[in-house]
Amino acid sequence: MIAPLLAGGIALLVSLLGTWWLTAFLAARGRSQPILVKDDINIAVPAHTHKAGTPTMGGLAIVGAAGVGYVVSHVREGVVFSDQTLIMWAGVLVMGGIGLLDDVIKVRTKHNRGVLWKKKGWITLALAGGLSTLLVMATSIDTRLSLTRADLPGLELGKVVFIIWAALLIFSTTNAVNVTDGLDGLAGGSAMIGFAAFTMISYLEFRNPVLYPDVVNPYDTVVFAASFAGACGGFLWFNSAPATIFMGDVGALAIGAALAQLALATNTHLLLALICGINVIEIGSVALQMLVFRASGRKRRVFRLSPLHHHFELVGWAETKVIIRFWLISGACVMTALAIFFADFTHLATS
């Protein structure tokens, strides 16, 4: 367990120092997040104009710190780089790169949405498909549909269907985290909880190879998850309300890709919906709002504004109250997911 603790601790420290430096660097160059005043159908959003001038692209510090923690932890004897985890890192960097490009466009055009925003979905879906194909072709990742292990429910998808399923999982999670990233610390805090959960899950799989024979090099997966948990924790020091820096799309898309790929690597595909429960609720609120609005001829709404965190702001909740309560919901979802996983582990261990 020393390497994961080392990875998480180093990532936390590097994230603290890196975010502090990055905040000053970006602020000095005016790399701030444009603030949306009205949405696409001219509805006023909660008053966040006081956040104008806050630097963005802080996700660079998260990814960088996680990378440093991950690499340095491998100085310990017995900790090896696995092909699967290196491909996962490629996924994080590719998705984060698309987010960074969009962030740069937003900053330069001083518009809340980059030029790529209408095409970004198709681009990320195509990249997710490429990453899924690489995971299948270059590693021995299990291609069965899984909840807590490869043989539960154990439905064999086959390579082609698994690639499609994995691509949709990566695509959906990156977008869900991006949608959640609308209040100070909301996405970062919930992501840290999710990464902590995957650290525990993958460590248990590592310690019990007889029970989880289909997981590829779980110890490297533990280090990967711990690195991101630490990096998110360090970033929250500056990103918690009132934030002095935003993570931007570069952080949201990278975090989403990391979480989705961890679910694929640990054979917990279906459990991801609970581990990322708050993200599912957030993007679900957007989908439901759009469905009802369009079906009613643009006359009816379910929420005052979506994503859901803006609805509660308009109801009258303070931003910090929304954030803390959503963190609590995220924690409850993650604890439920862990309870399901540990219950199945106990069943396996005693049977």
The residues facing 55 across adjacent strands are 32
Distance CA 349, CA 351 (A): 6
CB 302 within 8 A of CB 234: no
| CA–CA distance, 257 with 334 (Å, rounded to integer) | 18
Is the separation of the CB atoms in 178 and 170 below 8 Å? no
Residue 304 has pLDDT above 60, yes or no: yes
pLDDT at residue 47 in the model: 59
Phi, then psi, of 155 in degrees rounded to 5: -70, 120
Question: Do residues 334 and 268 touch, judged by C-beta distance below 8 A?
Answer: no
Reported confidence tier of residue 283, pLDDT bands at 50, 70, 90: very high
Please check the confidence at residue 49 and state whether its pLDDT lies above 80. no
Burial grade of 274 (CB within 10 A; 0-12, 13-18, 19 or more): buried
Of the candidates 88, 60, 62, the residue with the CA atom closest to the CA atom of residue 224: 88
Question: How far is the C-alpha of 310 from the C-alpha of 322, rounded, in Å?
Answer: 9
Residue 154: what residue type?
G
Q: Is the pLDDT of residue 51 over 80?
A: no
The confidence score (pLDDT) of residue 275 equals: 98
Domain encompassing residue 77 = 2-350
**78: pLDDT strictly greater than 90:** no
Question: How many structural domains is the chain composed of?
Answer: 1
What is the pLDDT at residue 48?
Answer: 67
pLDDT at 36: 58
Mean pLDDT of 254-264: 98
SS3 content of the chain, % helix, strand, coil (to 5): 70, 5, 25
pLDDT at 42: 45
Q: Dump the DSSP string for 142-210.
A: --EEEEEETTEEEEE-HHHHHHHHHHHHHHHHHHHHHHHTTSTTHHHHHHHHHHHHHHHHHHHHHH-TT
114: pLDDT strictly greater than 60 = no
Q: What's the confidence (pLDDT) of residue 266?
A: 97
pTM to 2 decimal places: 0.94
What mean pLDDT is reported for the chain? 92
pLDDT (tens digit, 9 = 90+) per residue, 183-207? 999 999 999 999 999 999 999 999 9
Pick from 30, 53, 4: which is nearest to 224 by CA?
4
Task: Please write the tens of the pLDDT for every residue from 9-29.
Answer: 999 999 999 999 999 999 887
Question: In the structure encoding, which two tokens stand for residue 335, read together?
Answer: 């604890």
Cα 255 from Cα 66, distance rounded (Å)? 11
